[in-house]
Amino acid sequence: MPTPPSEMSSWLRHQPSLIGTAPAWDASAAPDSPVDLFRNWIGAAVQAGVPEPHVATLATVGADGIPDARALILKDVDERGWAFAGPRGSRKADHLAVHPAAALSFWWQPLVRAVRARGRVVEAAAEESAADLAARSATARSGIEPGDWVLWRLVPERIEFWQGSPDRRHVRLVYESRDGAWVRTDAGAASA
């Protein structure tokens, strides 16, 4: 049973980080679309046995201008965006009604890989939200009316794929949406 640290900052500093095994990855050969690269990376995460690789942290901003973040499940990814869902009466729904924009962050520790996306958020059609609710288990659906459940899509304007390296020569590949096309930038071996 670990004892609580008396000197927290020193204890934290000594916790190991970036201890996964990064796969070989040639960022210069990455696909034109971040959707394809994301599919490839989440597929690799599943193959590597990453638990719950479809869980992400979603950050939103409240009416008071203060961000909030919570874990949730990624429902779909395609050229329309990164889909997630939740109750209409939730805090995130309130935030998105005021600021229809968000950020999503994934961390696949065993592969030393992280992905983050930011952009506008749009509400899916009522039928899509209803279909998402219907696809949940009976227990998860219990007490939720179709109109009380929302599927949203984050439509990224920027997506960063980051792969860590023990020698701190981390690789960052950034896709930015410009005039409807993806511009890819190898942000290089930025250290952190």
From candidates 12, 19, 46, 71, binder to ligand FMN by CB under 6 A: 71
CA distances from 3 to 6, 9, 15, 30, 128 (A): 9, 15, 14, 45, 48
* 119 part of the interface to ligand FMN, by CB under 6 A: no
Cα 81 from Cα 144, distance rounded (Å): 25
By CB under 6 A, residue 170 contacts ligand FMN: no
CB of 124 to ligand FMN, least distance (A): 14
Residue 5 · residue 11 · CB < 8 Å: yes
- Taking CB under 6 A as the criterion, the residue among 91, 136, 168, 169 binding ligand FMN is 91
Does residue 73 interact with ligand FMN by CB under 6 A? yes
92 sits near ligand FMN (criterion: CB under 6 A)? yes
User: Which phi and psi angles does 88 have, rounded to 5°?
Assistant: -65, -25
CB of 85 to ligand FMN, least distance (A): 6
Q: 100, 155 in Cβ contact below 8 A?
A: no
Interface residue list for ligand FMN (CB under 6 A): 55, 68, 70-73, 85-86, 90-92
